[in-house]
Structure 1
Amino acid sequence: MSTSKYPKLSGRFDAKSVTSIDRLLKDIFDVAIAVAQPTSRVPQFLPAPPRGRLIVIGAGKASAAMAKAVEDNWSGALEGIVVTRYGYAVPCQRIEILEASHPVPDANGLKAAEKILKRVSGLSADDMVLCLISGGGSALLPLPAEGLTLADKQEISQALLASGASISEMNCVRRHLSAIKGGRLAAACHPARVVNLIISDVPADGLHDIASGPTVADATTCADALAVLQRYAIKVPPAVSAMLESGRSESLKPNDPRLPHIETHLIATPQLALEAAARLAKEAGINAYILSDAIEGEAREVGKVMAAIARQVKRCAQPAQPFKPPCVLLSGGETTVTIRGKGRGGRNVEFLLALGVALNGEDGIFAIAGDTDGVDGQEEIAGALLRPDTLARARKHGIHPLASLANNDAHGFFQALGDSVVTGPTLTNVNDFRAIFIAAQPDNI
């Protein structure tokens, strides 16, 4: 790539340099999304045709796009059904596409889960189930365990989302209150062969955590799920407590005889997206460093830590320092937000606002943070951009950064400044994406 696309990425920061840095940050976010598109990833992992029928099922924000990629690259007969988030449907000819609510489940998700279970019943050993799983599948397959209701699931889901629990903790609870997750969907496919094509949106790519693992075994227990609820003081109906205490809603374990014919492929991951972003930055003449693809913790605390790292890189040209400006620090993972205020939430924008508050206008440090599925929290906004003058501009508009952070209203903060990043449905989901650009000091250029 010619560096002429970004004519001024260092030096003293005038309007031209700010525009170039904004463009670079948006471009590396875009390429992180593009590399994980089902259109390019799915065809590489399609299995050989079975002797019997091919049934396609799936759930997640990318599942409809994955289904379309299967249809476009499969010459034989197939049929199936997948469920995706409202607004993420992609028209298919042979695979039925359903839509439901995310992140809080609804009745359409319940109906979709029931239809998927029915579609895979009565299969033979000659049949194959191609399961297309991506992030968001937990909410889109809310079929409750026997004795529970959809209302129970909705109440617990809302409480978990506001609690600050990690995605692994939330999905542990979801698996053990489900009639379809935690390997149960794979068991329903038995004795057919199951081939999973999975787009990971969780730290460390834990298969049982992606959409709460409907077609993989799970080593966690009902006791683990109960401990999560107790840890975050989440009140649940008596039926939920009784179910977990008795262990009768246990998920399927690795030695379950119904799970021997399962083949799983991770077709896109957060690391893949970060590597693509790093390549683009390097092509633009900027050093790129991937810190981690699995950062977790409170979004505002991660923002403080990243601010300290960025400031150290910018100010201290120490001999042992591995990072040399101008550079981009890249990271992924899934942070959490404990809702205490009345704002609109969003873990990526909360991270970014906390980063900005900690940097306090530090010259030469810019950032972007966004969710690769195009939805940060419950907003149809992917994330936002941060510049050295962000806090000063906010104060001129009468917006107080600390008050916005305390109210969990980072979306409102960045939207008022015109700094939101809106992608629309991206049709993929490889979790959070963060990039911090650190310019070289003028006397070091």
Structure 2
Amino acid sequence: MMTDENTPFSDPRHAPLDFLSHLYAVAVRRAMPLHTIGAFLPSPSGRTVVVGAGKAAGAMAHAVEALWPQDAPLSGLVVTRYGHTPQRPAGIPARIEIVEAAHPVPDAAGLAAAERMMELPRNLTADDLVLCLISGGGSSLLTLPADGLTLADKQRINQALLDSGASIGEMNCVRKHLSRIKGGRLAAACAPARVLTLLISDVPGDDASVIASGPTVPDASTCADALAILKRYNIAVPEQVLEHLRTGELETRKPADPVFANSQVHLIATPQQSLEAAAQAARDAGIAAYILSDEIEGESREVGKVHAALARAVAQKGQPFQKPCVILSGGETTVTIRPRAPGAPRGRGGRAGEFCMGLAQAQQGQAGVYALAADTDGIDGVEDNAGAFVTPDTLALSTQKGIKLSDHLDRNDAYGFFEALNALFVTGPTHTNVNDFRAILVL
């Protein structure tokens, strides 16, 4: 249901869902690596080895291959999510290997990629360069368990964190301290070579140490922080590992570490930039646009309810904005998985769909309000949709079909709810990732 992002809308009122799809497409295009990475690439000098991980890693690797001088040495390895390797541009020779692994729970393919990545920089000199291409999703894709942990342990811990409702910062704090590659440890393996890290941000605040758990950047969080998070969410880890956390043996690389003396970090795409591009596209179509924030966190359904209250105030009272307008926001909300009865199926869906259920419930069929929430990587959770639409008819249509929104909320089943209403937003992988995108059109 996506539209051509280069085609402006003459009157969004006649096709509100197409208009929202258009804003999403504009936001995604702003974050595409080929459009952003060139300004940050250095002139070749010595050998250049590329490493990287994330949902955008394949597209970032292709962009480097297209822009790097063909007569300059270039090799390396990046890992992306299954099904997220884009088609290689015509006429561009393959010089960077792209492998695929599991997300959001790591697998053996990600483990093998991480092991190889730690070996690639060996024997480099201070005249050589390691170009690190990092985007959201890298925490799961690049897994190398700390001593005392198995891959099965990491899979269980990762799933427990995902189900707990922990924020991305909290999850990645734990992941960094239970890893042999995250938290600056990959940078240590690259010494004495220069390290240039190029980031596409998918985290609130654009903290480089949180994006993909910061394999090549310093980390200010501590083992004590990780222990507190594990305790807060009742996440079980082996006693031997708990002891290593207590003694600080699993501490990450800190900002003062000399391993970062020859290191640079650049953000090449951020959620705010994509929201600003979408806002400008709305204004070009004659619709006022307001960006609430690119850092919104919290329980997805509750964030949806707050957005609904704002949209109703605009629709009914003209406050705090005059209609017609579009309200934009980003960030990374969370979903706490509700307990299930024994044998009951697990709900399907992600945080965008859960947001939409909360929005629809609180919006109460408000006339003139249309919404889209979607993940900019094109996948909401582990399903095949990017997100979902909410319209003034969402609740009425569900009632006609005998579908109870509250039941779907109780079992975290956004996919089932919106699939039954033919309201899923499906794009396929976009090959970038600047996190949640939400747009509410009030006519």
Paired with 2:58 and 2:7, the residues of 1 have a C-alpha distance of 36
CA distance in 1, matches of 2:8, 2:76: 48
SS of structure 1 residue aligned to 2:217: coil
1:8 Cα deviation (Å)? 5.6
CA offsets 1:7-57 (integer angstroms, 9 cap, x no match): 461xxxxxxx3xx1011100001111111101111112111212x200111
Out of 48, 54, 70, the residue aligned to residue 48 of structure 2 is 54
In 1, the alpha carbon distance for the partners of 2:374 and 2:258 equals 41
Whether contact under 8 Å (2:205, 2:295) holds in the other structure is yes
Q: Which amino acid aligns with 1:143?
A: L
RMSD of aligned alpha carbons = 1.4
Cα distance in 1 for partners of 2:193, 2:383 equals 39
Give the SS at the match of 2:157: helix
Q: 2:12–2:285: 8 Å Cα contact kept in structure 1?
A: no
Aligned to 2:326: 328
Structure 1: give runs of 5+ residues left out of the alignment: 10-16, 440-445
Q: Is the 8 A contact 1:64 1:89 kept in 2?
A: yes
Distance 1:4 1:346, change over 3 A: closer
Amino acid at match of 1:406: D
Aligned pair in 2 of structure 1 residues 394, 93: CA closer, same or farther (>3 Å)?
Answer: same
- CA 1:129 to 1:397, structure 2 compared with 1: closer, same or farther past 3 Å? same
Q: Residue in 2 aligned with 1:137?
A: 138
Show CA shifts across 1:55-86 (max 9, x none): 11110010111011001111112111111110
Separation in structure 2 between the aligned mates of residue 430 and residue 23 of structure 1, nearest angstrom: 21
Mapping of residues 285-324 of structure 1, within 5 Å: 285-317=286-318, 321=320, 323-324=321-322
1:2–1:187 distance in 2 versus 1, CA, 3 Å: closer
Aligned in 2, Cα 1:28/1:8: closer, same or farther, shift over 3 Å? closer
Following superposition, the deviation at residue 183 of structure 1 comes to: 0.2
Q: 2:181 aligns to what SS in structure 1?
A: coil
Map residues 386-425 of structure 1 onto 2, 5 A cutoff: 386-425=390-429
Instruction: Say which SS state the counterpart of residue 44 (structure 1) adopts.
Output: helix
Equivalent position amino acid for 2:81 in 1: R
Match of 1:85 in 2: 81
User: % of aligned pairs identical?
Assistant: 59
The answer on whether the counterparts of 2:368 and 2:392 sit within 8 Å (CA) in structure 1 is yes
Looking at structure 1, the residues matched to 435 and 352 of structure 2 have their Cα atoms a distance apart, in angstroms, of 10
Three-state SS of the structure 2 residue aligned to 1:144 is: coil
Give the Å deviation of 1:345: 3.3
- Shift of residue 372 of structure 1? 0.2
Mapped to 1, the partners of 2:349 and 2:423 lie a distance apart of: 16
Alignment-mate amino acid for residue 355 of structure 2: F
Conservation of the 8 A alpha-carbon contact between 1:373 and 1:426: yes
| CA pair 239-351 structure 1, distance change in 2 beyond 3 A | same
| 1:5, distance to aligned residue in structure 2 (A) | 3.5
Match of 2:437 among 411, 433, 436: 433
Counterpart of 1:12 in structure 2 is none
1:27 is matched with: 22
Matched AA of 2:206: D
Measured in 1, the distance between the counterparts of 2:148 and 2:379 equals 33
Aligned to 2:343: none
Q: How many Å apart are 1:239 and its aligned residue? A: 2.5
Q: Return the alpha-carbon distance in structure 1 between the equivalents of residues 376 and 186 of structure 2.
A: 27
- Give the CA deviation at 1:106: 0.2
Q: Deviations over 1:310-342 (max 9, x none)?
A: 111121135xx3x22100000000000000153
- Counterpart of 2:51 in structure 1: which amino acid? I
Contact 2:12 2:19 (8 Å CA) reproduced:
no
Which of 48, 62, 68 is the aligned partner of 1:68? Answer: 62
| Pairwise CA distance, 1:120 | 1.0
Matched-pair contact (CA < 8 Å) for 1:59–1:132: yes
Extract structure 1 runs of 4+ deviating beyond 4 A.
1-4
SS in 2 for 1:203: coil
Q: Does 1:380 align with 2:376?
A: no
How far 1:240 moved relative to its partner?
2.5
**For the Cα contact (< 8 Å) 1:337–1:345, is it kept in 2?**
no
CA distance in 2, matches of 1:2, 1:257: 46
Q: Quick one: which of 17, 21, 36 aligns to 1:41? A: 36
Moved more, 179-188 or 82-91: 82-91
Aligned to 2:147: 146
Determine the C-alpha separation between the residues in 2 that align with 1:233 and 1:149.
19
Distance apart, 1:6 and its partner CA:
4.4
Gap change, CA 1:6 and 1:339, over 3 Å in 2? farther
Distance 1:310 1:165, change over 3 A: same
Q: Distance in 2 between matches of 1:6 and 1:240?
A: 60
CA distance in 1, matches of 2:20, 2:367: 17
The alpha-carbon deviation at position 3 of structure 1 amounts to: 9.9
Q: CA deviation at 1:360?
A: 1.0
Structure 1 residue 407: Cα displacement: 1.1
User: Take 2:163 and 2:353, find their aligned partners in 1: how far apart are those partners?
Assistant: 16
Query: For residues 293 and 186 of structure 1, what CA distance do their matches in structure 2 show?
Result: 29
C-alpha distance in 1 between matches for 2:411 and 2:202: 27
The alignment covers a number of residue pairs equal to 426
* Correspondence for 1:234: 235
Structure 1 residue 2 displacement after superposition: 11
CA apart distance, 1:378: 1.4
Q: Which residue of 2 aligns with 1:221?
A: 222
* DSSP 3-state at the match of 2:366: coil
Residue 191 (structure 2) aligns with: 190
Q: CA distance change for structure 1 residues 8 and 158 in 2, over 3 Å: closer, same or farther?
A: closer
Deviation at 1:274, TM superposition (A): 0.1
Q: For residue 339 of structure 1, what is the aligned residue in structure 2?
A: 337
2:115 corresponds to: 114
CA distance in 2, matches of 1:8, 1:264: 40
